[in-house]
Structures are given as structure tokens and as C-alpha cells.
Copies of this chain bind each other. A is one copy, B any other.
Amino acid sequence: MATIGFIGLGNMGGPMAINLLKAGHEVKAFDLSQTAVEHVVSEGGTAVVSAVEAATGADFVISMLPAGVHVQGLYLTGEAPLLDVVSDNALIIDSSTIDAATAQRVSAAAAERGLSFIDAPVSGGVGGAIAGTLAFMVGATDEQFAKAKPVLECMGKNIFHAGQSGAGQIAKACNNMMLSILMAGTSEALNMGMKNGLDPAVLSEIMKQSSGNNWALQVYNPVPGVMEGVPSSNNYQGGFQVDLMFKDLGLAMELSQQSNSPVPMGSAARSLFSLHKSKGNGGLDFSSILKLYQDS
């Protein structure tokens, strides 16, 4: 069993760390929030007082932070860069969702010092983090991926090797942009059907069995009442917030800008989520985009 320094124990990081503990690993837990640390400690983790202490001597360092600026600061440009303290044979796994350019920059800086930094953002939400069924999209060499996989499998179900450094972030940006397109598109197709008198459950079923079939129709229908146990049937509470979708779409726009990849559909979806957010809906589940379409 390995010693793992875990930095960032929020809604996602906390349950992920606990799943590592359940699998028998030793976890040195750090977060700016003492409450977050204590929660992990109550499940068997070891509290440490700094990211440096978490990283020092660990076999794996895992980070789960809000944005690229935090990841860069933590490892590279902050007051106590972790790249100065991690062991030569340690593997750093960053599971934050950040821009690919930062992931690649930190990975390159690590490589220069003979260290290993890989990007492994997740999808699956808080539910998946708790259940240990996250999907990991990994940007790493074959060797790094082989080393990371058993650890990631303690926290997730599907572990994808997307490609070299940064590829995990790129894959996630592509996937989540696609998701925003699916959800907005499905909402507008269902809304048009409803405005013309169709039953949304019937239309959903028709499209699901036809060429309009997609993830939203299968497991995340945006119309309240069509499907049980989804945010739309719970006043759009829980799930994946509009604010987070908007953040991810910002990362997709950045990626498209740097690589000049045209993204007209993703841009249109981002505009819709932006309009929706500006009306005070940032805290709702992203399937609430249906409300933007509806008459009021």
C-alpha cells in the first residue's frame, strides 16, 4: 500500500481521499479548510499542516484544485513549490480541471527535474466521487499511466489513457463542451415539441430510439417529471452546477483559441449558459438550461 499526499479536500477531493483510505492506502490530508481535513481524518487519514508536508516523502501526490493558477502556484511558482520537495520516484497526479497549457507547463517543469506530473481530470460529479465510480481522463506516458492506474481505480471505474501530457485536460474540455451542446440541444428540441403540443416523455422516448439519441435523454432528462432521480425532478438541485459548466466552457474556448479550432456549437452553448447564469441561475444544475427556453 502506498503513502499518498492529497491536497484539496473539497466536495470532490474529500470523498476521493476517503476512497483511497478504504482501499488501504495511507493518506496525508491537506486543505485550507480545517473541517475538510478533519472529515478525512475521521475516516483514517493523517492531518498535515501544509501541502509541503503532504508531499514530502509521499509515493503519490494527488491534487484537486479549482483552477490552473492554483495548480501552477502549488507546484511551480508559489512560495513553497512542491516540485522542490517531492521524491524522485513519486508520481504527481493532478485531478483538477484546468487548462491544458498549464498542465503541460507544470509537467515539463517536473520532467526537467526528473519528476513525473500527470493530468487526470475526472467526470462523474460528487455522486461518482463518493461511489468511487468516477471516470479519469489521463494525460501521461505509458509508464506513468501504468503506475497511476491502480491508484486511480480506487477512486474511479473508467480510467482512460487519453494521450501524452495535457491530453487528459483536452479530452475533458472536448467532452464537457459536447455535454453542454447535448443538454442545450436536447432542452430546445423538447421545448419546441412541448410548445407544439407533444408530451415530453413521448418525444424523449422517440428521440432516444432514433438518431437524436444522447446522454441527456438516456440518464439526465432536463424536463421535470420525465425521469426520476435526476436534478430536473428535484428543482434542479444537486448535480453539476451551471457555474461549473460555464467554467469548463471557458476552458474549451481557451483551448479553441490557442489551437484555432472552430467551435461554433460550443460557443453557442456557452452563450446560452452565460445568459442563464446572468439571470441568477449559476447555482442550479446545468439541465436547468431548459428554463431559459421556456415561456414566462
- B256/A192 in contact, CB under 8 A: yes
Q: Determine if A109 is an interface residue (Cβ-Cβ < 8 Å).
A: no
Closest residue on chain B to residue A192 by CB atoms: B261
Is B262 a contact partner of A274 (Cβ separation < 8 A)?
yes
Q: Which of B210, B213, B260 is in CB contact (< 8 Å) with A218? A: B213
A293 to B265, CA, bound (A): 11
> Per-position contact with B for A14-58: 1 when CB-CB < 8 Å, else 0?
000000000000000000000000000000000000000000000
A141 interface hit (Cβ, 8 Å): no
Cross-interface CB contact of A185 among B170, B181, B199, cutoff 8 Å: B181
How distant is A76 from chain B, measured CB to nearest CB, in Å?
A: 13
Whether B212 contacts A213 by the Cβ 8 Å rule is no
Q: Which of A196, A218, A272, A295 has the most CB of B within 10 A?
A: A196
Question: Is A191 located at the chain interface by the 8 A CB criterion?
Answer: yes
Q: Which residue of B lies closest to A269 (CB)?
A: B265
How many angstroms between the C-alpha atoms of A289 and B70 in the bound complex?
Answer: 38
Q: Any chain B CB within 8 A of the CB of A11? A: no
Q: How far is the CA of A264 from the CA of B273 in the complex (A)?
A: 10
> Binding site of A, secondary structure by majority: helix, strand, loop or mixed?
helix
Given contacts A179-B212, A213-B218, A279-B295, contact A162 B268 (CB under 8 A): no
Per-position 1/0 for A249-264, Cβ under 8 A of B:
0101111110111111
CA distance A255 to B203 in the complex (A): 16
B177, B271, B292, B294: which contacts A263 (Cβ < 8 A)? Answer: B271
A160 contacts which of B178, B205, B255, B292 (Cβ < 8 Å)?
B205
**Residues of chain B within 8 A of A158, CB atoms compared:** 209-210
Contacts of A294 in B (CB 8 A): 278
From B135, B252, B263, B272, give the contact of A264 (CB < 8 A).
B272
Q: Is the CB of A182 within 8 A of B212?
A: yes
Please give, as numbers and ranges, the residues of chain B lying within 8 Å of A210 by CB-CB distance.
123, 135, 137, 158, 175, 179, 215
Name the residue on B nearest A193 (C-beta). Answer: B174
Q: Is the CB of A198 within 8 A of B167?
A: yes
**Given A188-B261, A259-B192: A197 touches B164 (CB 8 Å cut-off):** yes
Interface contact A274-B256, CB-CB below 8 Å: yes
User: Hey, which chain B residues are within 8 Å of A117, CB to CB?
Assistant: none
Complex-state Cα separation, A160 to B207, whole angstroms = 10
Within the assembled complex, what's the spacing in Å between the Cα atoms of A198 and B195? Answer: 37
Q: How far is the CA of A211 from the CA of B218 in the complex (A)?
A: 10
Is A2 among interface residues, defined by CB-CB distance under 8 A?
Answer: no
Residues in B neighbouring A229, C-beta threshold 8 A: none
List of B residues within 8 angstroms of A198 by Cβ: 162-163, 167, 170-171, 174
12 inter-chain pairs at a CB distance below 8 angstroms, sorted by A residue, are A158-B209, A163-B198, A170-B197, A173-B192, A174-B198, A175-B210, A177-B185, A178-B212, A182-B211, A182-B212, A246-B257, A246-B260
